[in-house]
Structure formats: C-alpha cells, structure tokens
C-alpha cells in the first residue's frame, strides 16, 4: 500500500487486510521497505509481524523512525534478536558506512537472515552470530513456541515442548573480543529476556559505551523467567541513562547529558 500518512496505512491494513494475507502470498518473496526502498526482504507469509511489513513496508513505526534517524548519523548497530533482518537491513541501508552485529538464537531464522543480508549485498558490513545473549555464559533452553511465528521463540528456564538448547554469552564478554569502542544503537527484542541481555552488558553500560538502547517488555514471558519489569529500568538508571516509552511495552534509553 502507498497510502500516507503512514499511521493511516497501518490502520487500514489492520482494518481490511490483516485477515486476508493468505491471498497475497506472492508479496512475501520480495518486499520493498518504506524507509529503504532499494532494500528487499524475503519473509514468512504466516508470521503476523512479517505480514505488516509486506503490506505496509514497515514494522513498529515509531521505533523504525528513530532507528532510521540515528542510522543517518552513522555507526555500529547491535541487533539482538535480529529475526529475518528487518532492522539490520534498515540500518545498513541508511548509511553506506554503517555496520551491524546481529544476534539470532533461533536456528530456524538464521538461514533466512543470512539470505536477506546477502541478497541486499551488505554481508561485508553485517556480522551474524547464531547465539543468544544473556546475563551469564552457558547454555539455556530455547522454546520455539510456534511453528508459524518466527519471533515468538525465546529463552526458557525449563525444557518445554519444541525446545532446544542454545549457547549463551554476555555482551560484555563478546565485546571484549571486538575492536569497536562504542555501540551507537543497541536494539533488543528477545521475547522476555531483554533484561538478561542488559544485565550481561553491565560493564558496557557503566562505561557508557552504548549511546542509544531500545528494549521491550514481554511481561508474560518475563514472568515465566522470573523477571521483574523494573529490573532493567533500575539498572539503566543506575548507569546514567534516562528512559522514555515509545510504544506499549517498548522503551528507549539514552545517556543523561553531563552537566558542567
């Protein structure tokens, strides 16, 4: 759809097309993005988030706008829970000097993620790691939760139906092996484990090496992991960040400006 303003396009999609996606499966082989028209993604027709991208050209409008704006300034984007690469591809497309480190723990998503990165000829600027980030190094169960929804899987504390074990590292430990000095944008979408990712980046946070942070609260999954919705916020505030909500369950953290 080419309707503008974009909020109206999204509203019309949910009103008239969201239940008719099966009639348009051909759209999902090569989807052009609203904020990066030369970028095309191959997505999963049965995935509800991918359906929004296919019909609207974008997903999570407010978050997308902020990431595109920051992407124009340039730098390194760390995409935790990269899925099929929507945000990774956006960041790389926004500035030819931008670089991405993408983490995706689901084995089902790795091949489509790599395919989208390669098809858009940005593999030299995007590093993909098929591991999970958490609060400590080890292994944890990863529940797929759905055979159709690519983004509903996440870390678990117990073996469940449709569960595998995945390796987990901390961002602090991973970062120690890189040559980068700072992370311009850290985006986390791990279906409940966002707090663990931030706890595993405590040294980076204390050293103020991360400029912008976007994370989510999936309270149902957080409850299953024994996580409080306040833990991540308290950690960020203690490290000198300020927070504001950008949508329901979505938060944006930035460094508090130094006072003279």
Instruction: Say which range, 56-70, 107-121, 134-148, has the weakest mean pLDDT.
Output: 134-148
pLDDT (mean) for 104-117: 97
* pLDDT interval class at 84 (50, 70, 90): very high
- What pTM value is reported for the model? 0.96
What's CA 32's distance to the chain center, in Å?
19
* pLDDT interval class at 158 (50, 70, 90): confident
Higher pLDDT among residues 27 and 176, named by residue: 176
For residue 190, whether the previous peptide bond is cis, meaning omega lies within 30 degrees of 0, is: no
Q: How much is the pLDDT for 259?
A: 67
* Residues 45 and 51 sit within 8 Å (Cβ to Cβ): yes
pLDDT more than 90, % of the chain = 87
pLDDT at 260 exceeding the cut of 60? no
* Residues 93 and 160 sit within 8 Å (Cβ to Cβ): no
Distance, CA of 159 to CA of 215 (rounded, Å): 25
Q: Which of 154, 156, 104, 108 is nearest to 130 (CA)?
A: 104
pLDDT (mean) for 16-45: 91
Domains recognised in the chain with CATH numbers: 1-58 (no CATH), 60-255 (3.40.50.150)
| pLDDT, mean over the chain | 95
Q: Which of 81, 113, 111, 79 is nearest to 98 (CA)?
A: 79
Q: How much is the pLDDT for 100?
A: 98
């Amino acid at each position: 759809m080419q309707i503008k303003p974009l909020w109206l396009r999204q509203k019309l999609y949910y009103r008239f097309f969201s239940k008719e996606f099966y009639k348009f499966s051909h759209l999902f082989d090569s989807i052009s993005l609203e904020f990066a028209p030369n970028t095309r993604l191959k997505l999963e027709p049965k995935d509800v988030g991918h359906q929004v991208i296919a019909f609207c050209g974008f997903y999570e409008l407010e978050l997308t706008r902020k990431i595109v704006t920051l992407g124009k300034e340039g730098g390194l984007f760390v995409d935790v829970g990269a899925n099929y690469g929507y945000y990774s591809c956006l960041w790389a497309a926004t500035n030819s000097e931008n670089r991405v480190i993408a983490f995706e723990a689901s084995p089902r998503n790795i091949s489509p993620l790599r395919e989208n990165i390669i098809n858009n000829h940005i593999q030299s600027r995007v590093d993909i790691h098929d591991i999970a980030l958490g609060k400590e190094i080890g292994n944890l169960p990863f529940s797929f939760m759905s055979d159709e929804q690519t983004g509903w899987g996440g870390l678990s504390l117990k073996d469940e139906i449709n569960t595998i074990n995945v390796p987990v590292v901390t961002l602090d430990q991973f970062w120690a092996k890189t040559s980068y000095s700072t992370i311009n944008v850290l985006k986390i979408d791990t279906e409940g484990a966002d707090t663990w990712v931030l706890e595993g980046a405590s040294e980076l946070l204390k050293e103020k090496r991360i400029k912008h942070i976007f994370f989510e609260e999936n309270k149902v999954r957080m409850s299953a992991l024994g996580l409080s919705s306040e833990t991540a916020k308290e950690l960020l505030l203690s490290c000198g960040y300020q927070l504001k909500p950008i949508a329901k369950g979505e938060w944006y953290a930035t460094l508090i400006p130094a006072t003279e």
